[in-house]
Amino acid sequence: MDPVGVAAAPDAGPGPAWRSKCPWGAPNTTSISCSLADVMSEQLAKELQLEEENAAFPEVVAVAEGPFITGENIDTSSDLMLAQMLQMEFDREYDAQLRREEKKINGDSKVSISFENYRKVHPYDSDSSEDEVDWQDTRHDPYRADKPTTTPRRGFIGKGKDITTKHDEVVCGRKNTARMENFAPEFQVGDGIGMDLKLSNQVFNALKQHAYSEERRSARLHEKKEHSTAEKAVDPKTRLLLYKMVNAGMLETITGCISTGKESVVFHAYGGKSATEDKVIPPECAIKVFKTTLNEFKNRDKYIKDDYRFKDRFSKLNPRKIIRMWAEKEMHNLTRMQNAGIPCPQVVILKKHVLVMSFIGQDQVPAPKLKDVTLSSEDMKKAYYQILNMMQQLYKECNLVHADLSEYNMLWHDGKVWLIDVSQSVEPTHPHGLEFLFRDCRNVSQFFQKGGVAEALNERELFNAVSGLNITADNVVDFQAEIEALEKMNEDHVQNHGKKLSMFSSNGDPPIYDE
Ligand code: ADP
Ligand code: MN
């Protein structure tokens, strides 16, 4: 399916202007500014009604096949819901009619015409039954396949310092170019990858700074137009999903927004009652909403499509499904960690791109990040050994590398460290798995060395301690080169045999460190 055509087409009808400007924007034609708590209160239905009845219908259509409508517990208390159901029915009939006409006109003719663009329910917007699968084992992380095939990875040649350093610059430059795709979707980065552009770190950092300030600037502009940040954070579809959870009694109340990031928004909620008896909903929950901003993913399309590993799997997925896979992945990874006994949020439920988990913290106050908390030197040391242990467990028992481990994604709660934010976590045999692990080790080492933990291993020692590998290089450059060589070996093996090497554990289990 043509992604451009798809992105341009979801509104079969007179789409309101705000929609094309900001997919996250709330329809604010008439509604007045209000806090999230208000929106999530009992009055939600009324508010939604007011807001959305004034918004154009196509937006509503997109939600129509959600779980609200299909289950037995059809919600008839809201006029909006009823309207959506009716609209959905109408659209279905309309599309069926179109299909009949299409068939009639085309007949057996070899040349056929398509009414696709006239359909009300576009495949893009509709939720196929496939969408209802709440999660699956997503063993590969499509977004980390960020090395486009146009810039094939060259293995490093020899161990000579010159060669490695030069090579490193090239790889670094390409990486920087590829990393530009992480900038805000509005930020035009051009086709640096296509022309094998290599950005120096200096240039990249300058660009990054610029991209961020641009992003902030446009965010400020938006904010003026929209209401509060929390309001802006969820689109109507997501709000309906949340509303449904409250309505079903699963959540008591959604109190407010804890964090607004680029890829997700996290809310706090008080847990309610579970529909099934075997499941207990924690008294306090965190709701992580993965942003379904479509633009960001259009850019990534090419990496996925061109990557032999993802071709089959992802060519059929639309961006919305891919964003759900992130949420699925986080859930899946959290479950693995839970099973290994690593302190982390407990998964409550996953609905599409919304992941509900237990709240780390108390009375609506989230546990502080490790970077924001001042620990005694004893606690600091304790935290260090705990993290060392967790990294080993994560690697060995969960077969995972966190891939974004730092003092930002570790919370201090109940006298121990909790790991969060694992949607990007990958298996060690991921094409860049070991590089991610090394980066994690670097963050952890630096944090604790700066924090005065004399026992803290350096990044290389930590890497070996976690992975059980025995890379002997005595400097970072050579060390990284060896890591990349190992990854390359694995990649080649995958290419040739379609299977992963188990080499990463060939040295036996990593030693478990104890205090
Ligand atoms: P992001 O990808 O936006 O960094 P995170 O999962 O790290 O997403 O969540 C962002 C922030 O929300 C965290 O830094 C933390 O402060 C808070 N948070 C996330 N999950 C929880 C949780 N289960 N309990 C308490 N706070 C949480
Ligand atoms: Mn985070």
Closest to 238 (Cα-Cα) out of 4, 13, 23, 437 = 23
**Known catalytic membership, residue 404:** yes
- Residue 115's pLDDT is 79
Residue nearest to atom 11 of ligand 1 (CA): 259
Q: Say if residue 311 is in the same domain as residue 411.
A: no
| Ligand 1 atom with minimal separation from the 360 CA | 24
Instruction: Report residue 277: phi and psi, to 5°.
Output: -75, -25
Rounded to the nearest 10 degrees, how much is the dihedral formed by the CA atoms of 445, 447, 449, 451?
A: -150
Q: Say if residue 389 is in the same domain as residue 358.
A: no
CATH number at 316 reads 3.30.200.20
- DSSP structure class, residue 31: P
* Displacement of CA 364 from its chain's centroid (Å): 24
Is residue 27 assigned to a domain? no
Q: Say if residue 180 is in the same domain as residue 274.
A: no
For residue 421, report the distance from its CA to the centre of ligand 2, in Å. 5
**Residue to substitute in 229, 254, 258, 350 for testing ligand 1 pocket (most ligand atoms within 8 angstroms of CB):** 258
- DSSP structure class, residue 276: S
Closest to 506 (Cα-Cα) out of 484, 491, 488, 490 = 490
Instruction: Report the DSSP pairing between strands 354-358 and 284-290.
Output: antiparallel
Is residue 124 assigned to a domain? no
Q: Is the pTM of this model over 0.85?
A: no
- Residue 172's pLDDT is 60
Q: Say if residue 393 is in the same domain as residue 341.
A: no
Structure tokens belonging to residue 384: 């260090």
How far apart CA 172 and CA 200 sit, in angstroms, is 7
Cβ-in-10-Å burial (0-12, 13-18, 19+) of 313 comes to middle
Structure tokens belonging to residue 70: 């299909």
- Residue 220's pLDDT is 57
Q: Say if residue 215 is in the same domain as residue 325.
A: no
Environment of ion ligand 2 (residues, CB < 5 A): 409, 421
For residue 288, report the distance from its CA to the centre of ligand 1, in Å. 8
- Residue 79's pLDDT is 63
For residue 256, report the distance from its CA to the centre of ligand 2, in Å. 18
Instruction: Report the DSSP pairing between strands 365-366 and 361-362.
Output: antiparallel
Single out the catalytic residue among 38, 79, 131, 404: 404
How far apart CA 12 and CA 118 sit, in angstroms, is 7
At which of 202, 225, 248 does a domain end?
Answer: 225
Q: Say if residue 458 is in the same domain as residue 342.
A: no
Q: Say if residue 330 is in the same domain as residue 247.
A: yes
How far apart CA 247 and CA 241 sit, in angstroms, is 10
Q: Of the ligands numbered here, which is closest to the C-alpha atom of 287?
A: 1
Is residue 106 assigned to a domain? no
Neighbouring-strand partners of residue 410: 419
Domain around 421? 368-502
Q: Say if residue 237 is in the same domain as residue 362.
A: yes
| Ligand 1 atom with minimal separation from the 409 CA | 7
For residue 403, report the distance from its CA to the centre of ligand 1, in Å. 15
At which of 225, 259, 278 does a domain end?
Answer: 225
CATH number at 372 reads 1.10.510.10
Whether the CA torsion 120, 124, 130, 132 is positive or negative: it is negative
Q: SS3 breakdown of the chain: % helix, strand, coil, rounded to 5?
A: 50, 10, 40
Neighbouring-strand partners of residue 265: 260, 289
Cβ-in-10-Å burial (0-12, 13-18, 19+) of 449 comes to middle
Q: Say if residue 414 is in the same domain as residue 360.
A: no
What residue has token string 């060939």?
Answer: 506
First-to-last alpha carbon distance for the chain, in angstroms, is 55
Closest to 330 (Cα-Cα) out of 299, 305, 357, 309 = 357
Q: CB under 6 Å to ligand 1: residues?
A: 258-259, 261, 263-264, 266, 286, 288, 345, 357, 359-361, 366, 369, 409, 420-421
* DSSP letters for 499-510: S---GGGTT-PP
For residue 68, report the distance from its CA to the centre of ligand 2, in Å. 30
For residue 27, report the distance from its CA to the centre of ligand 2, in Å. 28
| Ligand 1 atom with minimal separation from the 262 CA | 3
- DSSP structure class, residue 416: E
| Tens digits of pLDDT across the chain (515 residues) | 444 343 333 344 444 444 444 445 444 444 445 455 544 544 454 555 555 545 533 333 333 223 332 233 334 455 665 566 577 667 778 888 888 888 888 888 878 888 777 776 544 333 333 333 333 333 333 333 333 333 344 444 445 554 444 445 666 666 666 665 555 444 455 555 555 666 777 777 777 777 777 666 655 555 444 334 444 558 888 999 999 999 999 999 999 999 998 889 999 999 999 888 888 999 999 999 998 764 444 444 544 444 445 555 665 667 788 888 899 999 999 999 999 999 999 999 999 999 999 999 999 999 999 999 999 999 999 999 999 999 999 999 999 999 999 999 999 999 999 999 999 999 999 999 999 999 999 999 999 999 999 999 999 999 999 999 999 999 999 999 999 999 999 888 888 877 665 545 444 444 344 43
Residue nearest to atom 26 of ligand 1 (CA): 366
Is residue 45 assigned to a domain? no
**Residue to substitute in 141, 265, 266 for testing ligand 1 pocket (most ligand atoms within 8 angstroms of CB):** 266
Is residue 39 assigned to a domain? no
Q: Of the ligands numbered here, which is closest to the C-alpha atom of 262?
A: 1
Q: Say if residue 380 is in the same domain as residue 490.
A: yes
Residue nearest to atom 23 of ligand 1 (CA): 359
- Residue 87's pLDDT is 73
Q: Say if residue 250 is in the same domain as residue 338.
A: yes
How far apart CA 190 and CA 407 sit, in angstroms, is 33
- Please give the tally of structural domains in the chain: 3
Is residue 239 assigned to a domain? yes
At which of 313, 331, 366 does a domain end?
Answer: 366
Q: Of the ligands numbered here, which is closest to the C-alpha atom of 423?
A: 1
- Residue 465's pLDDT is 98
Q: Say if residue 273 is in the same domain as residue 343.
A: yes
Contact call for residues 465 and 509 (beta carbons, < 8 A): no
For residue 422, report the distance from its CA to the centre of ligand 1, in Å. 10
| Ligand 1 atom with minimal separation from the 264 CA | 3
Q: Which helix (H) or strand (E) holds 88?
A: helix 79-106
Is residue 509 assigned to a domain? no
Is residue 42 assigned to a domain? no
Q: Of the ligands numbered here, which is closest to the C-alpha atom of 362?
A: 1
Give strand ranges (E) for 9-131: none
